[in-house]
Structure 1
Amino acid sequence: MTFLEVTRDGPLVTLAMNAPEVRNALTGNTAVAEFVEQCAAIDRDLSVKCVIVTGYDGMFSSGGNMKDMRRYFDDTLTQAQIAAEYRNGIQRLTKALYGLDVPVIAAVGGAAIGAGCDLACMCDVRIAAENAAFAESFVKVGIVPGDGGAWLLTRTIGRSKAAEMAFTGEMLSAAEALRIGLVSRVVPAAQLMDAARELAAKITAQPGGVLRMTKRLLRESQMNSLDSVLETSAVMQALAHKSWEHREAVTAFIDKRKPDFSQPKA
């Protein structure tokens, strides 16, 4: 049985975690391999414009599999081996999902715990159901955010609130997540996927090439200087001005019609 259920609706791909027996845990199973494989396929397919990541009703992801963690008690498993497991395991998921070229929406229903909370932060936009809850709970089980959560959470909600979440491991409600900017909106649980698809429809209506460049600029702005981002922006803008999508958008505006970004124009 696969961890991810993958569905395609035109330019939208939905990756739905469906492992209720482990509450969508991301370790001790095929979750990492499946996420990495799907992200690679999405990046290769230029017709994809948006991705939704979600879970089954009542659960986004419980993070690490606690039962699987007991094997680290084995004295024959060295610290170097454990570090290598993280590099070659959950950290591959972080790089693949955070590094996706297209916009990613996390539709969070139920709990997003530990690496599950970080999984949501790997996405560009987070929509939460009213019953959602978030916790950076590694400290409560005597470990650190080995998946890059310290980097992700700080950039999502700022240093002070990220530190509070990481130092206490306390659970936040959907309402509190909205207040601190961890999510952009909260909706009734029954409307979660409709809200995610509605937002995805607004995104996929835009030109795909420009969406990918815009996402790259937003990510570059988190790590580089203004001068560096300005230079990258100039280069990408030159590419955008010469694209068929820009020509179609301007022509449609002048002709007072809706632009068609479904395929290149002759």
Structure 2
Amino acid sequence: MSDVVLYDQQDRIVTITLNKPETRNALSKDLCEALVNAMKRADADAGVSCVVLAANGKSFSSGGNLHEIKAMTAEQNMTPLEIEKWYKTGIQRIPLTMAEISVPVIAAVNGHAIGAGNDLTTMCDIRIAGEDAIFAESFLRVGIIPGDGGAWLLPRIIGQARANQMLFTGEFIDARKALDYGLVSEVVENDKLLERAYELAEMVVGLPPLAIRKTKELVRTAQSVTLKENLDQAALFQGVLQQLDDHREAIDAILEKRKPVFKGA
């Protein structure tokens, strides 16, 4: 695993940490590749039930690496087709990967989450923020558009009107406004951010592992199918889950007033 993204597993929780504080965790090509690989690794491990996405340094992510973006035309003279390929083989792999994985991801947002950094938070299932967190859709400030799915993701989370305001003004919003917008679900003291993220992760992993992943899949596909199709998928999943030992253990534990012991089967 590349040292620009750290991977640590404790029981059923994996912490994936952006680790380029010298660039405020700008999403350079190497970081994008390492993040995709880390997410796929966690998802492929049946022993993982939750991911905490965190960042070292003063910022969650400052967005795209402006030096790389500038070099495309100022130094490398890349054609429009070459730039298109750069996005498709680079940063766009992150939202596509995040949309495919079945393990839930909790974003612990510290400091700035700007541009693509803000969009990275929207790819996560749960977002909590430290009191110093700052969010922005800042692409127009540098004369480009969200190339990483932000225009698709953000309106689905905070609504079209507020998303348009962020997208068309590039304004910076603090953690409290992000909470009001619904961009994050909680704001906590800065020094309690990871502690709270792990509290939430522990709540997730205390539930039946396969049911956790099927719930995420059901929620994800609900964005693009009809109610009838989502109900059909739910019925199919239930037919599988209700045959599992974990389902029977969950009910028995409730009836017997004890803590359940799940085996992922």
TM-score range, shorter chain: over 0.9
Mapping 1:135-146, distance limit 5 Å: 135-146=136-147
The offset of 1:254, in angstroms, is: 2.6
Counterpart residue number, 2:229: 228
Which stretch has the larger CA shift, 89-98 or 130-139?
A: 89-98
The offset of 1:41, in angstroms, is: 1.3
Counterpart residue number, 1:251: 252
Distance 1:148 1:263 in 2: 33
Counterpart residue number, 2:40: 40
Amino acid corresponding to residue 215 of structure 2 in structure 1: T
Q: What secondary structure does 2:261 align onto?
A: coil
Distance 1:39 1:188 in 2: 27
1:117 to 2:118 alignment: yes
Q: What secondary structure does 1:59 align onto?
A: coil
The 1:122/1:263 distance shift into structure 2, 3 A limit, reads closer
Mapping 1:83-232, distance limit 5 Å: 83-232=84-233
TM-score in terms of structure 2 length: 0.96
Counterpart residue number, 2:7: 6
TM-score in terms of structure 1 length: 0.95
Which stretch has the larger CA shift, 69-78 or 142-151?
A: 69-78
Maintained 8 Å contact 1:107/1:196: yes
Q: What secondary structure does 1:30 align onto?
A: helix
Counterpart residue number, 1:77: 78
Distance 1:32 1:72 in 2: 17
Maintained 8 Å contact 2:50/2:204: yes
Maintained 8 Å contact 1:16/1:53: yes
Distance 2:93 2:34 in 1: 11
Amino acid corresponding to residue 143 of structure 2 in structure 1: G
Distance 2:151 2:51 in 1: 24
The offset of 1:32, in angstroms, is: 1.4
* Percent identical residues: 43
The offset of 1:256, in angstroms, is: 2.5
Amino acid corresponding to residue 22 of structure 1 in structure 2: T
Maintained 8 Å contact 2:154/2:163: yes
The offset of 1:263, in angstroms, is: 5.4
Distance 1:263 1:54 in 2: 26
State how many pairs are aligned.
263
Which digits, 9 at most, give the CA deviation of each residue in 1:30-55, with x for residues without a partner?
Answer: 11111111122112111100001011
The offset of 1:57, in angstroms, is: 4.0
Distance 1:157 1:106 in 2: 16
Over the aligned positions, Cα root-mean-square deviation in angstroms equals 1.3
Maintained 8 Å contact 2:246/2:263: no
Distance 1:262 1:238 in 2: 19
* Stretches of structure 1 lacking an aligned partner (at least 5 in a row): none
Q: What secondary structure does 2:217 align onto?
A: helix
Maintained 8 Å contact 1:115/1:149: yes
Distance 1:54 1:3 in 2: 12
The offset of 1:255, in angstroms, is: 2.5
The 1:98/1:263 distance shift into structure 2, 3 A limit, reads closer
Maintained 8 Å contact 1:35/1:97: no
Counterpart residue number, 1:64: 64
Q: What secondary structure does 2:60 align onto?
A: strand
Distance 2:25 2:264 in 1: 37
The offset of 1:72, in angstroms, is: 2.3
Maintained 8 Å contact 2:8/2:16: yes
